[in-house]
Amino acid sequence: METVVSGIRSTGRLHLGNYYGAIQNFVKMQREYNCYFFIADLHSLTTHPTPADLHGNVKQVLVEYLAAGLDPEIATLYVQSDVPEVAELYLYLNMSAYLGELERSTSFKDKVRAQPDNVNAGLLTYPVLMAADIIIHRATKVPVGKDQEQHLEMARTFANRFNRMYKHEYFPEPYAFNFSNSLVKIPGLDGKGKMGKSEGEANAVYLSDEPEVIRKKVMRAVTDSGPTMDNQPKPQEIQNLFDLMKVVSSEDTYLHFDHLYNTCQVRYGDLKKQLAEDMIAATAPIREKIKSIASDGPYLRQVARHGAIKARESASKTIREVREIIGFRSF
Ligand code: TRP
């Protein structure tokens, strides 16, 4: 069975776009591959979070992914910093990662622009740590979006370079596992692109949002002044609301409002009220699970321990072999 690795950013709560996109695919993949999913808390140190924020973020992400359906009995679900072997492999890979190629990475250039006062070495070597995350389990498949394509290419470069340097076909090449064409696209509430793409809390509906918050966000969604001709094409922001309806509402509801729109009788206030209630109903089971898991400390501890043990089994085997290959041998 092929091995899959994916790192989950430890900041940011899950929104509907994540849920109907990546997460549903993770849930499916668990059964088809040997999956390692981890919370990338080491990567998050590049932005210098406070200890309390760091822990809170990791906990929230773990809780939400469990609530959304990742099964720690099937996949290996762990916290990156619980597996020190990753940091060790990162050190080895750093010895043959070159300044020039690291500086050319687009994500590094973006970060330099975004945080000019904190251009630390961790930021520069972020792709090396990401390569270590993946090849520590000798994974071949990485379910990530287009924005991670360059990082994946660098991971292949570092894996191949290690193999060549030590004349040993040890690490396989990891490739992106791209779902983007088969994914349902969930638009945001700001009338523009995908949910979560633009800044601002109001653009996205989070799985942990309370019903009142969801109602407020949906009621504030951007609309136009309404159709003036029958069967008029829908402008982007209206199409977005219908696209959301397609995902969370019944077909009857969707067709009802579509008919009202096409006959110029639609009242956006009513449409949004319906959409909000349907979103609340669609997310209710996950919202409840988030709450119950978040308050179950012993369960979370058990999940994290179990995940760390399974991840370290695989990681320590790799490190043992890598040390031998490099020439760290016992006397
Ligand atoms: N860079 C990824 C992101 O921004 C997160 C990540 C870190 C990752 N390590 C990884 C993804 C390893 C896949 C595999 O989303």
Q: What is the pLDDT along the chain (331 residues), one digit of tens a residue?
A: 999 999 999 988 999 999 998 898 999 999 999 999 999 999 999 999 999 999 999 999 999 999 999 999 999 999 999 999 999 999 999 999 999 999 999 999 999 999 999 999 999 999 999 999 999 999 999 999 888 999 999 999 999 999 999 999 999 999 999 776 666 789 999 988 889 887 777 899 999 999 999 999 999 999 999 999 999 999 999 999 999 999 999 999 999 999 999 999 999 999 999 999 999 999 999 999 999 999 999 999 999 999 999 999 999 999 999 999 999 998 9
Q: How many CB atoms sit inside 10 A of residue 151's CB? A: 21
**167 catalytic per annotation:** no
Which residues partner with 194 through β-bridges?
Answer: 187
pTM for the structure as a whole: 0.93
At the top level of CATH, which class does the domain 3-184+296-326 belong to?
alpha beta
Question: Strands (DSSP E) along the chain, which ranges?
Answer: 3-9, 34-40, 76-79, 141-142, 175-176
The residue to mutate among 130, 136, 142, 154, having the most atoms of ligand 1 within 8 angstroms of its beta carbon, is 130
Is the domain covering 197-291 a CATH 1.10.240.10 domain?
yes
In this structure, which amino acid lies at residue 149? Answer: E
- Which ligand 1 atom is at minimum distance from the Cα of 8? 5
Alpha carbon distances (Å) from 131 to 43, 301, 327: 12, 27, 21
289 is catalytic: no
Residues forming CATH 1.10.240.10 domain(s) in the chain: 197-291
Q: CB 252: neighbour CB atoms within 10 A?
A: 8
CA atoms of 81 and 38, how far apart (whole Å): 9
The residues of the chain that CATH labels 3.40.50.620 are 3-184+296-326
Q: Can 217 be counted among the known catalytic residues?
A: no
133 lines ligand 1 (CB under 6 A): yes
14 ligand 1 Cβ < 6 A: no
